[in-house]
Amino acid sequence: PKGVTAGNSVDSQLLRLKLHRLAEDLREQDLGDRPDVMARRLADNLQVATQRVGQGRILASYAVIFTDKEIWRVDPTGQFWKCQACIIGRNCAKAESALTKKLETSNSDNDQDPKQTLSLMTQDDALALCRDCVSGTLDDVEDKRKTLPSAPVPPPTPLKGLSIFKRQATWFSSENLKSIETYSQKLAQ
């Protein structure tokens, strides 16, 4: 091959292209906006790659296909399922478990199933619930950042080390950044 690349951005671009092609095919076949059919076809497409040797599969991207009434989630291995609510992105598993706990807690009070609870929510209630679940995961990230050492990391070697060092420095406090910048200027001279 002339070039090889991988990662979240490439996987998501490939997945987006597959979704666009599937959507065009569905429109041509007059199946319209059927998220269940689209999810099934995408899952079939992704699952084939798991059975072939030498064909790379998408590793880092989920697809979420939705309309006003349905949400379908497709994972990179070709599994797909219908969801009542879905969270994607960094720490999505923690946010979804927080959502599940909140729904179970509220349902134990009023004897409703989660689907019914979600369907009865106003848009403001749903946004508040989402904000609570996501902010809980952000608090976890902030706690991890606080536990990192406050002293600067030993400087890297001058060869291409400056850009790597600046990326590492984003985890530290502003006082440390000032000493890092001073050290970087000395290295550059």
Reported as a pLDDT band with limits 50, 70 and 90, residue 142 is low
Which conformational region is residue 32 in: left (phi greater than 0), alpha (psi within -120 to 50 degrees), or beta? Answer: left
Asked if pLDDT for residue 6 goes beyond 60, the answer is no
Please write the tens of the pLDDT for every residue from 24-79.
Answer: 888 888 877 788 898 899 899 888 877 777 666 776 677 888 887 888 888 888 88
For the chain, which residues make up each domain, given as ranges? 1-83, 90-147, 149-189
Closest to 15 measured CA to CA, from 73, 69, 91: 73
CA dihedral 79, 80, 85, 86 (to 10 degrees): 50
Please write the tens of the pLDDT for every residue from 92-124.
Answer: 788 888 888 888 887 777 777 777 888 888 888
Q: Are 181 and 170 in contact (CB under 8 A)?
A: no
3-state secondary structure of 115: helix
CA atoms within 13 A on the CB side of 38: 27
